[in-house]
Structure 1
Amino acid sequence: MSAPANDRLFRRWTSRLLLSAILLGVCHPLAAAERPNLVFILTDNHGAWTLGCYGNPDIRTPQIDRLAAEGIRFTRALSSNPVCSPTRATFLTGLLPSQHGVHSFLGGERPSAQMGPDAYCTIREFASLPKILKQAGYVCGLSGKWHLGANLTPQEGFTSWITMPHGATTEFYDAQVIENGAVRKEPKYLTDLWTEHGVRFIEENRDRPFFLYLAYNGPYALGRLLLNPARNRHAEYYADKELLSFPRDTMHPWQFHNKDFLNNPTSIRRVAAEISGVDDGVGEILQVLQRLGLDEKTLVVFAGDQGWMGGQNGLWGMGDHTRPIGAHELMMQIPLIFRHTGRIAAGQTSDLLVSNYDFLPTVLSHLGLSDQRPPQSPGRDFSPVLRGETTPWENVAFYEMENTRAIRTDGWKYVARHPEGPCEVYDMQADPQERFNQFGQPAVTDKQRELAAQLDAFFARYADPQYDLWKDGRSKAGRLGGAAGPAAAPPQRP
C-alpha cells in the first residue's frame, strides 16, 4: 500500500471515528465518561522469565506478582519483533513491521526521525491507541520511553508528555529527558521519574477517562551500563547474590554483541536490581489507583516490549544481538498481565498463544470500542478470555526482523532467513530450549513444508509491499547488516 493510500485510509478511518463519537455523544452522553481508564505499563528489553509470577526464584518482584494474582497472566505471549521501536509501534497500531514500516530500532536512520529538523512520527499515518482513545473522550499521557520519532513534542493524541530524546539508555542517572518541549538533564533515577509523573497524571485526571502509557526504559539490560554496579535501592540486596536463574553457559557462536555481559556477575546483578526498581514503580501505580478508588474503573496492563535472554543457550540480549538475526523463543516471550477489578477474575492464567499484535483489538474491545479496530490489523481479540469465557482461537504467532521471519505453533517453530538461510525447525514440545535444529531432516519434511507455506501465506496477506523487505521494500528505521537480499532470490525452502 502506498503512502498516499495509507493517508486516504487514515482520513476515512478518522471520519468514521469522528462520526461515531458524535453519534455516541448524542445518543449516550455518559458513554465516554463510563468507559474504563487504561494504564498500560510497558518495560524495555524484559523477558517474562525474570519475574516471580513467571517462576523466577531470585529476582524480587512482589508488586508485579500481586498484579498477576489479581488478574490474568498469559504464559505464552510473544512479540512480533525482537527490538524496541517495531514492537512499540505494533502495540499501539496492531500492525506488523511489514505494515507500519518500522523494522528495527530508531537511531540508525538518516536523517534522524527522533530529533532535529527532519524528525517525524513513524506511525503518524495510522490509527493508533492514543488517537482512538482521544477521539473517544480520553485524556492521554505518556511518561517514559517513546522511541517512535518526533520525540520533542507530544504525538498521537497525547497531551501530557515526558520522554527521552533517543531510545538507548546509557545510564539511569543524570540522563537527558524531554519535558515541556525542552531537553534537560535529570539527576533523579529515571525509573522513579517516570513513576512520579505517572502518579501525578492519574491524580490530575481522576475524574475523567484517562489513558496512561507508562513506558519504562528499564530494566534495559543492555549497553555498557551493565559493567557498572547498580545504584538504586536494590543494589545492596543483590550485591552478593549468585542469581542462578541466569544460566552460565559457553557463549553461543552466533553471539555478536554483548559478549562482555554473558556470565558476568556485575551485569547479572545490575539487571536484577533494575527489574526490582521497575517493580517498585508498579506498586506505586497500584497504590494510587487504590487510594483514589479507581481499581474498578481502570484496566491495568503490564507487558514487556520484547523478550530478552540472560545466558540461556549461551546468549545474551535479543534478536539483533546475534548474527544471523535471532528468533529464539526467549527473544520473543514477554510478560503480559491484565487486571481490572470486578471485571477480570483474579488468579487466572491463560496458555493461549498470543502476540503483541493482538493487544490493540483486545484492549479496544474491553473498553467498548471494538468497532474502532484498524481493519488491516492481523490482530485477534482475546477479550472474552479476560472475562473467563472461551473463544475460538488458533494457537499461532508470527515474527519478523528484517531478513528473518518465523512462525510459532503449539508444537513447532519454523524460522526462515531471506534469501539464503540458515533456516531452523524445532519441535517445541520435545525441545523447548531449541537446541536441536531439525531443518532438512527427512522426518520433519512434511511439517517443514506446511509451516513454510503458512508463513508465506500470512505475509502475502498482510505485508504492505512498500515495507516488505523480502520484496525490496523499505524500512523507516536504519538497517542492520546482512539484511534481505534481492527480490529475485527466493528464500531457502524445503
Structure 2
Amino acid sequence: MLRTLLASLFLLLSLFPHAQVTGGGARVQGNPEKPNVLWLTIEDTSPQFIGAYGNPDVHTPNIDRLAAEGIRFERAFAPAPVCAISRNALITGMSPDKLGTGNHRSAYPIPDFIRGYPAYVRDRGYYTTNNAKTDYNTSRADAIIAESWDESSNKAGWWDRAPGQPFFSVFNFAESHQSRTMTQPRPWYEKNVLAHLPDSLITHADELEMLPVYRDSPDMREHIARVYNSINLMDLRIGEMLDRLEADGLTDSTIVFIYADHGEAVPGGKATASGLGYRVPFLIWFPEAYRHFSPWESGTVSQELLTFLDLGPTLISLTGGTVPEYMDGRAALGNEREPAPEYIFAGRNRLDETPDLARSVTDGRYLYTRNFFPQYPAQKPQKYADVSDIVQAIRADDRAGLLSEPQSRILRPQPTETLFDLQADPWERNNLIDDPAHAGRAKRMREAVREEILAERDVHFLPEVALAKLPMPYTFRQDQNSYHLKNALKVALTDPETIKGQRKLIRALHDDDQLVRYWAAIVLGRVPPSADAVAALETALTDEHPTVAIYAAGALVRHTDNATAATEVLRTHAMGEDPYRALSALQQMQYAGPRMHDFLPDFRAKLKQLDADPGADKNMAYNLRSIVETSIFLLGEGPKLTY
C-alpha cells in the first residue's frame, strides 16, 4: 500500500515538476507563469491630487516612483462617485444600473450566478486576501465575501498562503478617506493624520497653490492642506507596504496595481456626477519577469479608457482564467484582452439621505452628464459633508457674498446637461453644452446616454420605495410588460420650461402607468408650473401611488402660494411608517425653499419619533436622522452637527 502511494506521488511530481505538497487546502501550487498580484486601493482620491499627475504641493513619492517605472493611466473612471456603488461594480464586474445596486448603502438581492471576481482567481489556485474594506452594497455580500477571499480581515495578507502558492492581495488605505480629509473634527485630524507625518512630508497651508474652485482664504488654505496631508500619509503607508513586499522577497514576482475607489473627498468632488467625482488615478507596475504581460511600455502614460467594470475581467484574464459572459467589462490584460470601447458610463443615485439621479458618459476626454434632478445642487445638504469645517466655511462665505460664481456653483441648482473637456478644463469650470463647436459631440453623447439607459434597462428609474420591495431588481427590469422604462424615460427627458413640454407632462400625470405619473410629477416640479399644471398637480395629491403624491406636493409647496393640502401630504408621509416614503417627503421639505422653515416643527417631531423607534433598517434610520438633523442645523435652529 505504501509502495503504491509513493509510486503515485513520484509520478505526480514527474508530470508536474512545479507542484508542491503543502497543507492549508491550496488548490494549485507554484506555477511560474502565475504572477502574484497586489492591489493597493486608496480611498477618495482624484488624479489632480497626486504628484505623478502634476500636483506640486502633495508629497506622494511612492506612488510617483511606481508611476515613473510603470504605466500611468489618464482615463480611468469609477462607475459612481461613492464607495459602495463603485465597490459593488468592481466585485461583480456588472453595471449597478442593471443590478439595482446604485443607491448608497442599500442591500438589495442580486442573482446567485454572480460570483465575486476573486472566486475565479481562487479557482486558478491563487491565495486571495482582502484587507479589509468590502462595502459590496448587496444582501449577498456575506456570500460573496466567503466565496471570494481565503481571508478578508484587517490581518489578511499574502503571508499566510501555502509555500509557493501565488497570491492576489488587496489592501485598502483609509488615510485619504473623507473622514480624514474633511469630516472628522480638526483635533482628530491633527492627532490621527498630522502627528504621523514627518516634517518633510507635511504640506503647509501658506505654501500651496490654491485650487481654482475654492476661495483663496487662510481658512480654505488650511482645509486644502488637510486634504493633501491625508494623501501624504496614505502614500507613506503605501511605501511601508511596498517595503514589506520587498523584505519578503516578492517584489520581483508581483504585479502591482494602485487606484482610487472614486474621486476626491472635497466639496464638489466625491458624491457628485462630475469628473472630480468619477475620475481616478490608476497605475500598474510590472516587475521585469512579467513585463511581457504588459501591452504598454514601462514608464509611459496610457490614454486607454478604463472603468472599474474592467478590473475583475482583467484580473481573471491575467491569471489565466476565462472571463464569465455575464460580466459587463472587458479584460485589459492577459489572453482575453479586448480593445477599449468608445464610451464608458457612470452615474449618481441616492447617496445617504440625498436625492439624485444623473447619468454620465465619457470618451476619456469629454464628460457628458444628464441631470434628472437638476433642481438640486451638486453639493447637496448631507450630514456627512455638512458636519465638516470646509463645507461650513463654503456655506458661510456664500451667505456673506464672498464667493465668485464658479466658487458658489456647487451650491446652486445644476444645468440639465453638462459637457466638460476634462483634459483642457480638469476643474470643470466651462460647460460646453451650448457651444456650437461641440454641438455634434453633445448630440452623440446625449444619445449614447439615452441608448445605454434603455439597453441596460436601468432599474433606478423606479422610485426606491418600489425598488426596495422587488424580490430581484435584476430580473424585474427585464420584464417589458411590468417595467415601462421607455415611456417613463420619454417623460423624464421632457423640457418643462416649454408650453409643449408642460402640456405633455400634464397628460402624463394622468397616465395609467404609475411610473409615467411619477416622472411627470418630478419634472413638473422643477420649474414654476402653469395654471393647468397646478391643477393637475393638485389632483395628483390623491394619487394611489404615494410617491407621485409626494413629488406633486413638493412642487406645489415650492411654487404656489396656497399649498395647504400639499403641506399636509408631506407631513403625513414624513411621519409615516415606510422609511423610503418618509425620506422622500423629508427631502421635499428640505428643498422647499423659503418655506423650509415652516417644516421646522415637523423635523423636530420626526427626530423625537426616531429617538423612540428608529426602525428595523439601520441604514434608512441613519438617513432619516441625518436629513432631519442637517435640516434643523441649516435653518440655524439646532446644535452643531457632530459625527
Compared CA separation, residues 29 and 99, structure 1 to 2 (3 A): farther
The aligned counterpart of 1:490 is 492
**Deviation of 1:81 (Å):** 0.7
CA deviation map 1:288-316 (0-9, x unaligned): 22233322332211110001164xxxx44
Q: Which amino acid aligns with 1:225?
A: Q
In the TM superposition, what is the alpha-carbon distance from 1:415 to its structure 2 partner? 0.9
Deviation at 1:350, TM superposition (A): 0.6
Q: Which residue of 2 aligns with 1:286?
A: 242
CA 1:360–1:459: 2 relative to 1, 3 Å? farther
Instruction: Check the 8 A contact 1:85/1:105 in 2, yes or no.
Output: yes
How far apart, CA to CA, are the structure 1 residues paired with 2:459 and 2:454? 9
The answer to whether 1:336 aligns with 2:338 is no
- The 5-angstrom pairing of residues 117-196 of structure 1 reads 126-148=114-136, 155-162=146-153
Aligned length: 391
For residue 174 of structure 2, what is the aligned residue in structure 1? 217
What letter is aligned with 1:129? Y
Greater Cα offset, 148-157 or 334-343: 148-157
Q: 1:37 to 1:443 in 2, by over 3 A?
A: closer
Deviations 1:381-431 (A, max 9, x none): 2227xx9xx974344221111210011125533211237771222355664
Residue 75 (structure 2) aligns with: 76
When normalised by structure 2's length, the TM-score is 0.54
Greater share of residues in helix: 2
Q: CA deviation at 1:264?
A: 2.9
Q: Which residue number corresponds to residue 359 of structure 1?
A: 311
Higher strand share: 1
* 3-state SS, counterpart of residue 330 of structure 1: helix
Give the 5 Å matches for 1:20-419.
Answer: 33-34=30-31, 35-106=34-105, 109=106, 113=107, 126-148=114-136, 155-162=146-153, 197=155, 201-202=158-159, 204-205=161-162, 207-222=164-179, 223-225=182-184, 227-228=186-187, 229=190, 230-234=193-197, 236=199, 238=202, 240-242=204-206, 244-247=208-211, 249-250=213-214, 264-308=220-264, 310=266, 315-318=267-270, 320=271, 326-342=272-288, 343-344=290-291, 346-369=298-321, 371=322, 373-383=323-333, 392-402=339-349, 403-409=357-363, 412-418=366-372
Structure 1, unaligned runs of 5 or more: 1-25, 114-119, 164-196, 252-260, 321-325, 478-483
425-434 or 405-414, larger mean C-alpha shift? 425-434
Q: Return the alpha-carbon distance in structure 2 between the equivalents of residues 235 and 431 of structure 1.
A: 34
Which residue of 2 is the match for residue 258 of structure 1? Answer: none
Q: Mark the CA change 1:359 to 1:328 in structure 2 (over 3 Å): closer, same or farther.
A: same
Query: Can you list the C-alpha shifts for 1:130-187, whole angstroms capped at 9, x where unaligned?
Result: 2212222222222122222688895343232225xxxxxxxxxxxxxxxxxxxxxxxx
2:69 and 2:142 map into 1 onto residues whose CA distance is 37
- Of 154-163 and 125-134, deviating more is 154-163
Q: Contact 1:309–1:330 at 8 Å: present in 2 too?
A: no
Residue 202 of structure 1 contacts residue 212 of structure 1 at CA under 8 Å; is this kept in 2? no
Higher relative contact order (Cα pairs below 8 Å, separated by 6+ residues): 1
1:341 Cα deviation after fit: 0.5
- Equivalent pair of 2:76/2:364 in contact (CA under 8 Å): no
The aligned residue for residue 461 of structure 2 is: 470
- What does the per-residue CA deviation read over 1:259-283, in whole Å, with 9 as the maximum and x for residues that have no partner? xx99634432332222222212222
Please list the CA deviations of residues 98-137 of structure 1 after superposition, one character each: whole Å capped at 9, or x if unmatched. Answer: 133321331xx4xxx5xxxxxx987865222222122222
Give, in angstroms, the shift of residue 448 of structure 1: 2.5
Structure-to-structure mapping, 1:387-466, within 5 angstroms? 392-402=339-349, 403-409=357-363, 412-418=366-372, 422-428=416-422, 431-440=425-434, 444-461=438-455, 463=456, 465=457
Q: Which moved more, 1:301-310 or 1:145-154?
A: 145-154
**Shift of the alpha carbon at 1:85?**
0.6
Distance 1:475 1:351, change over 3 A: farther
Q: Is the 8 A contact 2:88 2:135 kept in 1?
A: no
2:44–2:265: 8 Å Cα contact kept in structure 1?
Answer: no
CA contact under 8 A between 2:124 and 2:320: conserved in structure 1?
no
Q: Which residue of 1 aligns with 2:566?
A: none
Work out the CA distance in 1 between the residues paired with 2:159 and 2:493: 49
Segments of 5+ residues of structure 2 without an aligned counterpart are 1-14, 20-27, 292-296, 350-356, 375-414, 470-484, 496-500, 502-643
Instruction: Write the distance in 2 (CA, Å) between the matches of 1:265 and 1:426.
Output: 26
Please say which of residues 94-103 and 409-418 is displaced more in the overlay.
409-418
Q: 1:360 to 1:492 in 2, by over 3 A?
A: farther
Rounded Cα–Cα distance in structure 2 between residues aligned with 1:287 and 1:136: 27
In structure 2, C-alpha distance between the alignment counterparts of 1:366 and 1:491, rounded to whole Å: 42
Assess if the C-alpha contact under 8 Å between 1:306 and 1:331 holds in 2: yes
Check conservation: 1:227, 1:266, Cα contact below 8 A: no
Secondary structure of the corresponding residue to residue 57 of structure 1: coil
Q: Which amino acid aligns with 1:234?
A: L
Q: Which amino acid aligns with 1:407?
A: V
For residue 399 of structure 1, give the secondary structure of its aligned residue in structure 2: strand
Q: Which amino acid aligns with 1:294?
A: L
State the identity %: 22
Give the aligned CA root-mean-square deviation in angstroms. 3.8
Amino acid at match of 2:369: V
C-alpha deviation, 1:335, in angstroms: 1.1
Q: Which amino acid aligns with 1:274?
A: S
| Maintained 8 Å contact 2:100/2:467 | yes
Distance 1:472 1:224 in 2: 30
* Cα pair 2:366 2:419 within 8 Å, conserved: yes
Counterpart residue identity of residue 492, structure 2: P
Q: Is the 8 A contact 2:91 2:136 kept in 1?
A: no
**CA distances 1:235-265 after superposition (whole Å, capped 9, x unpaired):** 75527443535515457xxxxxxxxx99634
Provide the C-alpha distance between the structure 2 equivalents of 1:445 and 1:248, rounded to a whole number of angstroms.
27
One-letter code aligned to 1:41 = L
Q: Equivalent residue for 1:175?
A: none
